[in-house]
Amino acid sequence: MNQPATVRWQPSIAHRQGPLYRAIAAALAEDIANGTLPPGARLPTHRDLAWDLKVTVGTITRAYQEAERQGLIGGEVGRGTFVRDPRRLVEPVAEGGGSLMEVNLGLIDLSVNATALWPDAQALTAATQAVAQRPDLVALMSYQTPLGHPRLRAAIADWLADSANMHVAPEQVLLAVGGQGAMLTALSAVTRPGDTLLVEQLTYTGLRAVALHLGLRLVPVAMDAEGLLPEAVEQAARAHGAHALYCMPTLQNPTTATLSTDRRRALVDIARRIGLMIIEDDVYGFLKQPAPPTLYSLGPDVTLYVSSLSKSLFPGLRTGYVVGPRPLFDRLATILRATVLAPAHMGTVVAAELIDSGEAGRIAQRRRALVAERQTLARACLSGLDLSGSDADVTHLWLPLPETVRRDDLVRGALERGVKVTSADGFSVGKGEAPNAVRICLMGVDHASQLEKGLSVLEGLISNPVATSAAWV
Ligand SMILES: Cc1ncc(COP(=O)(O)O)c(C=O)c1O
């Protein structure tokens, strides 16, 4: 079997503090995160690296042991030491269940709206180090009110002003466990099992999970190229006796549609007139600059705003939040007390550090730049296809397929060739036929070359539909 060649690795450790072996392990972690040492790379032998760095072999042995303990590298007797693929480190979500990210080394996964995080690894490390020095850290780690520590809620209020042009008092912000927890908290506050929830006819899969859990009946509402149709919302609410609507007015997942300000006003007017509570999900809103007015800004009495820092900063922070009308606060607090008791503050302390230092704004700016870069690349790779209806500001493409290509054939054919995308059926609500389209996430793979490879597989299948069709007999 062919062995990968050993990489030449010359880390700079002079500027690092602490024991030498730790400095080398930290340099390894950094170079794996920034792609200098890709998954599968064979590291120099202990002896060679010791010679290059002018340290003892024992120091290298300890450094490699430390990196192995962190799951970054692995050794095989007789073959050497290799950089592990971070995706292989993901544990199964549940017993017998699959894993959140594919563990298959060769898969190009364009089905998850995650972001390659390595360009921001240093900022995260610096913020975490600053947090460790905070004199109030221990106080922040004690039990808090279920709504969250005032200082952290103030940081989120600042973030909303900067990124969403939404001006709220810190007391109006409630912390939740990610956007998912924010959705669950908000929907629990305004619905009861058996209620009807109106949603866009193609909606976020995680919302469907929440609705199933809460025993809600989903009723799809018609959309056009610009998104939700306000008059269809009114009609559906009256026809089904619905009192709640969940929607994503900015860069809708999956269609990428953004509602105009007129439609936003119309929605708020309808909500007031017929007694509808709107749950506004804005996780992608920071990508659209200047930010359109949020539904909450236009109708703070009829909107529960939910969002998180998962797309703008790091999903692992699990910092989500709900902003809503004061009369609902007691109910929201009761739900948070029952479900989380007190917020998991550590991630949010790091988030607050990033926000207060101005670093969060710079990371968000880098994300927008990376989105633009990947969108340009994707549109060049798929230049023969009609992407005019897919907004270039967001992390994914919404690709309507030509009649000659069936979406399920494409998804299956792509998977057989190691590329994963999501069919419109995954987002579709109700009995109607889903559109012949797929969602392609552009940001989850670490390197542009992987994206290019995945897109060229898709392009090949679309331009040669016979290859995608499995029906020979
Ligand atoms: C529209 C939408 N809302 C909420 C979420 C969940 O966000 P979080 O990771 O913060 O739970 C996602 C994640 O993809 C999303 O696309």
Per-residue confidence in pLDDT tens, the chain, 473 aa: 456 678 888 888 888 778 898 889 888 888 887 778 888 888 999 999 998 899 999 999 988 888 887 778 887 767 788 888 655 443 333 333 333 343 345 799 999 999 989 889 999 999 999 999 999 999 999 988 889 999 999 999 999 999 999 999 999 999 999 999 999 999 999 999 999 999 999 999 999 999 999 999 999 999 999 999 999 999 999 999 999 999 999 999 999 999 999 999 999 999 999 999 999 999 999 999 999 999 999 999 999 999 999 999 999 999 999 999 999 999 999 999 999 999 889 999 999 999 999 999 999 999 999 999 999 999 999 999 999 999 999 999 999 999 999 999 999 999 999 999 999 999 999 888 899 999 999 999 988 999 999 999 999 999 987 766 555 44
Q: Residue of the nearest CA to atom 14 in ligand 1?
A: 113
Tell me the CA–centroid distance for residue 59 and ligand 1, in Å: 43
Tell me the CA–centroid distance for residue 180 and ligand 1, in Å: 6
| Closest atom of ligand 1 relative to the 253 alpha carbon | 1
Contacts with 242 (C-beta within 8 Å, 6 or more apart), sequence order: 195, 196, 197, 198, 219, 236, 276
Q: Across-strand partners of 278?
A: 245, 303
Tell me the CA–centroid distance for residue 208 and ligand 1, in Å: 12
Strand pairing class (277-281; 244-247) = parallel
| Closest atom of ligand 1 relative to the 315 alpha carbon | 9
Tell me the CA–centroid distance for residue 283 and ligand 1, in Å: 6
Tell me the CA–centroid distance for residue 384 and ligand 1, in Å: 31
Q: How far apart, in whole angstroms, are the C-alpha atoms of residue 278 and residue 326?
A: 15
Q: How far apart, in whole angstroms, are the C-alpha atoms of residue 95 and residue 5?
A: 37
Test site for ligand 1: of 180, 286, 396, most ligand atoms within 8 A of the Cβ: 180
Q: Residue of the nearest CA to atom 7 in ligand 1?
A: 179
Q: Residue of the nearest CA to atom 4 in ligand 1?
A: 179
Q: Residue of the nearest CA to atom 13 in ligand 1?
A: 113
Q: Across-strand partners of 399?
A: 438
| Closest atom of ligand 1 relative to the 310 alpha carbon | 10
Q: Is the pTM of this model over 0.85?
A: no
| Closest atom of ligand 1 relative to the 320 alpha carbon | 10
Q: How far apart, in whole angstroms, are the C-alpha atoms of residue 364 and residue 374?
A: 15
Ligand 1: list residues with CB < 6 Å. 113, 178-180, 204, 206, 248, 253, 281, 283, 308, 310, 315, 320
Tell me the CA–centroid distance for residue 37 and ligand 1, in Å: 30
Using alpha carbons, select from 302, 310, 339 the residue that is nearest to residue 188: 339
Using alpha carbons, select from 225, 235, 286 the residue that is nearest to residue 258: 225
Tell me the CA–centroid distance for residue 206 and ligand 1, in Å: 7
Structure confidence at residue 98 (pLDDT): 35
Contact between 285 and 305 (Cβ < 8 Å): no
| Closest atom of ligand 1 relative to the 183 alpha carbon | 4
| Closest atom of ligand 1 relative to the 204 alpha carbon | 1
Tell me the CA–centroid distance for residue 179 and ligand 1, in Å: 5
Residue type, 232: A
Using alpha carbons, select from 318, 371, 365, 327 the residue that is nearest to residue 346: 318
Tell me the CA–centroid distance for residue 183 and ligand 1, in Å: 9
Tell me the CA–centroid distance for residue 386 and ligand 1, in Å: 27
DSSP 8-state class, residue 99: B
| Closest atom of ligand 1 relative to the 182 alpha carbon | 11
